[in-house]
C-alpha cells in the first residue's frame, strides 16, 4: 500500500517571480506568445507612470481580457520600491534610495537647473527651471575608480532594463524629468543590453524623451563604444577621461589598464566620424595629481582633433579614508583658461549640487559609514542644456 507521504512530497514548484512591466523585451515576448498586440504595452506603461503607487494592473483601461490574465500571472507594475527621498537644503537636489527585488539598493538623483543662467552668444538664454535625473545601471561597480564612492562597494549585480526605467517612474513623483544622465552607480556599458533596451523605452511612448537629452557616461569600454552609434543613434556619449596620459589614468582608475588611452582615443575618433556627435569629456580635478598646467596642455593636444566639450569636475570627498584633495579654484580656472584660450576647446566647470545629502558627483554609494562633506548650491545651468 503506497504511503501518503510520497505523494505529498512531490508538490508543484512555485511559480516564477513576477517581472516588471518595464522589462520591455520580456513583456513583448509574452504578449507575442499570447497573440496580444504589442500596441497595448505603452498604454500599460502610461498608466503606471501616471499612477506610480498602483498595486495591480487590473485598472489599466481598454486592454483585451487575455492581457489582464497575463499581467496578473507574470507581471507587476514595478519590482523596485522607493525607500527614502532626501531633499537638499536649497531644494535643487533630491536623492532617491530605491530597493530592488533582489534586496539590494541603488541611488538616483534629481537635479534641478535653471537654463536661463549664463549667456549664449552674448545674449540671455531662454528657458526656466528644468530637471535632470541621474540614474544607476548597476549595484556597485567593477571599475574601482579611487575617487568614486561607488567603487568602494565593489560590483554586486546588474540592473534589468525595467529597474533602470523604474528609476524614472519613481522620480516622476517629485519632478517632471526632462534629461536623463547615466552617471549614477555602475558602468553603463558593462550592462549594455539592459542599457540599450531601457533607453529605447525612454525615447518611445509614453516617456518620449528626446535622444539629445539622454547622456551615457563610460570610463571607456572600447568594444561597446564601437557599436554605440549603431545601437543608440543621437544619444550623447560622455567619457570619464580624468587624465591626459595612460600612467595617471591607471593610477586613479585601475580599470584603465584594460583600455589603453591610444586605443580609446582611436575608438572615439571612429565614433565621432560615424556619428557626427559632440563628445563630452569628464575630467575630475584632483589636487597635485592631474590639475597642473602641463596636464591642461596634454589634454588640449589630446583633444585637438575632436569636437568635444570638457566638463571639469571638482572632487567631492567620499569619507575620511579618501586619498585625494579637491583642486583649488585657482587651478581649476587656470586649467579651463588654457583649454579655452590656447586650444579653443569648450570647457565648463561642473557646479556642486547635493553635497549636503551626499548626492554630488562621485558620492553615490549605499551604506558608506563616513560623514560626508556639507555644502549648499544654487540653481545651475545643466550640461544637457549646453547648445553645441
Active site residues: 107, 361
Closest CA to 190 of 110, 136, 111, 249: 136
| 195 class by beta-carbon count within 10 Å (0-12 exposed, 13-18 middle, 19+ buried) | buried
- Return the sign of the alpha-carbon dihedral for residues 379, 384, 387, 388: positive
Q: How far does Cα 141 stand from its chain's mean position?
A: 13
Q: Quick one: angle between helices 192-202 and 24-33, nearest 10?
A: 80
What are the residues facing 255 on neighbouring strands?
none
C-alpha 198/C-alpha 211 separation (Å) is: 12
What are the residues facing 111 on neighbouring strands?
93, 132
How far does the chain reach from its first CA to its final CA, in angstroms? 83
C-alpha 121/C-alpha 125 separation (Å) is: 9
The string of DSSP codes covering 211-275 is: GGGEEEEES--HHHHHHHHHHSTT-EEEEE---SSHHHHHHH-GGGGGS-HHHHHHHHHHHHHHH
| 39 class by beta-carbon count within 10 Å (0-12 exposed, 13-18 middle, 19+ buried) | exposed
C-alpha 175/C-alpha 156 separation (Å) is: 29
Closest CA to 220 of 273, 281, 295: 281
Amino acid at each position: 500500500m503506497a504511503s501518503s507521504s510520497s505523494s505529498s512530497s512531490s508538490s508543484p514548484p512555485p511559480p516564477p517571480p513576477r517581472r516588471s512591466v518595464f522589462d520591455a523585451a520580456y513583456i513583448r515576448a509574452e504578449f507575442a506568445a499570447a497573440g496580444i498586440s504589442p500596441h497595448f504595452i505603452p498604454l500599460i506603461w502610461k498608466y503606471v507612470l501616471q499612477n506610480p503607487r498602483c498595486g495591480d494592473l487590473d485598472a489599466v483601461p481598454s486592454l483585451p481580457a487575455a492581457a489582464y490574465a497575463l499581467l496578473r500571472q507574470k507581471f507587476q507594475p514595478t519590482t523596485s520600491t522607493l525607500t527614502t527621498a532626501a531633499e537638499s537644503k536649497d531644494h535643487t537636489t533630491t536623492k532617491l534610495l530605491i530597493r530592488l527585488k533582489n534586496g539590494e539598493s541603488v541611488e538616483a538623483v534629481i537635479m534641478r537647473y535653471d537654463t536661463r543662467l549664463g549667456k549664449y552668444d552674448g545674449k540671455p538664454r531662454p528657458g526656466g527651471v528644468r530637471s535632470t535625473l541621474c540614474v544607476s545601471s548597476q549595484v556597485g561597480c567593477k571599475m574601482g575608480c579611487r575617487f568614486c564612492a561607488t567603487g568602494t562597494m565593489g560590483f554586486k549585480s546588474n540592473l534589468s532594463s525595467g529597474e533602470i526605467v523604474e528609476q524614472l517612474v519613481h522620480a516622476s513623483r517629485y519632478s517632471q524629468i526632462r534629461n536623463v544622465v547615466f552617471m549614477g552607480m555602475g558602468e553603463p556599458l558593462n550592462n549594455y543590453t539592459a542599457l540599450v533596451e531601457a533607453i529605447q523605452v525612454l525615447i518611445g511612448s509614453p516617456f518620449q524623451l528626446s535622444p539629445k537629452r539622454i547622456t551615457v557616461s563610460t570610463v571607456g569600454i572600447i568594444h561597446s563604444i564601437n557599436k554605440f552609434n549603431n545601437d543608440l543613434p543621437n544619444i550623447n556619449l560622455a567619457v570619464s577621461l580624468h587624465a591626459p596620459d595612460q600612467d595617471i589614468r591607471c593610477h586613479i582608475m585601475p580599470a584603465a589598464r584594460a583600455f589603453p588611452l591610444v586605443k580609446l582615443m582611436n575608438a572615439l575618433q571612429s565614433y565621432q566620424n560615424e556619428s557626427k556627435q559632440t563628445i563630452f569629456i569628464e575630467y575630475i580635478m584632483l589636487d597635485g595629481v592631474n590639475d597642473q598646467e602641463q596636464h591642461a596642455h596634454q589634454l588640449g593636444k589630446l583633444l585637438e582633433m575632436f569636437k568635444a566639450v570638457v566638463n571639469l569636475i571638482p572632487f567631492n570627498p567620499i569619507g575620511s579614508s579618501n586619498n585625494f584633495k579637491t583642486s583649488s579654484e585657482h587651478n581649476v580656472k587656470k586649467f579651463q583658461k588654457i583649454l579655452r584660450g590656447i586650444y579653443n576647446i569648450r570647457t565648463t566647470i561642473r557646479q556642486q549640487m547635493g553635497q549636503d545629502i551626499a548626492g554630488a558627483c562621485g558620492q553615490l554609494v549605499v551604506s558608506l559609514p563616513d560623514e560626508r562633506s556639507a555644502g549648499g548650491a544654487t540653481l545651475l545651468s545643466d550640461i544637457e542644456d549646453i547648445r553645441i
